[in-house]
Structure 1
Amino acid sequence: MLDNGLQVRMVEMPTAPLVSVWCWYRVGSKDERPGQTGVSHWVEHMNFKGTFYAYWVMNNVLGQYGIGGRLGRSIRERQGMAYCAGSMFEAGHIAGPLLVRAGVNADNVDRALDSIETEVADMARDGATDDEVSNAKRYLVGSIPRSLETNAGIARFLQTTEQFGLGLDHDRALPGLVDAVSVEAVADAARQTLRPEQTAIVIAGP
């Protein structure tokens, strides 16, 4: 930490010809004065060690990377309605949605919506299978070293550890945290997240 309070995190890469520099400022709703914003109990728990990772695994099973998972297999592979159909969390220190999206022909909108609703409802009701959870954890753990192969990837990882106070050993702790996620924890994450009464549908196109 510098004398002016600025925190600096650096990783030396002697073989890299370029330097990636990221600056993050603690401004926004998280840092506003008490009484100005609400507090999300759900996102608070999402950021605790041991709970966020169940949501991460659940989202991977559902369709985190767009061409795999349940959504990708249903909408892309079996029905051929979209090149990419997947899910992602858009949350941080404050509440954000779980977003499911797909780009389909206008004639297939109703079919795509039905398929999305079916996959989401099945996940909320039944959770994920043992094999799905095992495969998702193996994939996520394997993706950790790949995400650190570039300057930008390392900078992004350091930013995340600082933003959420995860500690400088997080890259070494993360595989164990993911591997500790149980099938029951994934099912609980699905039940808490995938609620019909909290769903909003947006359609844009002709």
Structure 2
Amino acid sequence: MINRITDRFPEHQIVESEAENLYIIDHKKDDGGKVEIHSEPQISNAVQLYNPNKTPIYFDGFPDNAFQISPGAHLKQCECIVFPQTCMDDDWILVIETKYSANIETAFDEEIDYPNGMIDQVANTVAYLRDQNIIPKDKMVNALVSFPNLIDDFSAFFFSGTPSVEDVLIEHKIKIRASNVATIRNRRNIYIGELRQFGTKA
């Protein structure tokens, strides 16, 4: 998979890591910067990937307007993709979409409609990467939709006015969850929505 990404999108800056804690931040909200991954907590709130077995991963933080769909028109994309460095057929793939809402009222304001927009960005990005033969057509993809600034659990609210988790799974082959955290078990398993401690590698 890494070869397909670098061949098709040579301008993307792929980051390798096997840190135990990973923090993904979209700096566009701060200063127009990039989507980045760090091994130490940052000043800004982040999506945290807990990686207790130090599974080596690749991270592609998508630059602005990364995917052109026609001259002058670009896909409304999500933030990034993360996947194990083994690049095996049965490895997990994770795409992440974030919105830095200041409070839960704004996050779920019906006029702003962040949840539906976030689901659309995830689905559109995965569909585009399938069309480009980056992700196999029948491959199940994990997706995390996140509000990093919100401390309280917002997962119960997220899908109340959107397609259900099951709808997204059936229509797009995407297992989507609303959370600010996920735990990498190994190259085959990733758990979204909770921090979990595991003892040994598998």
Q: What TM-score results when the alignment is normalised by the length of structure 2?
A: 0.31
Bigger strand share: 2
Q: TM-score, length-normalised on structure 1? A: 0.31
Larger radius of gyration: 1
More helix per residue: 1 or 2?
A: 1
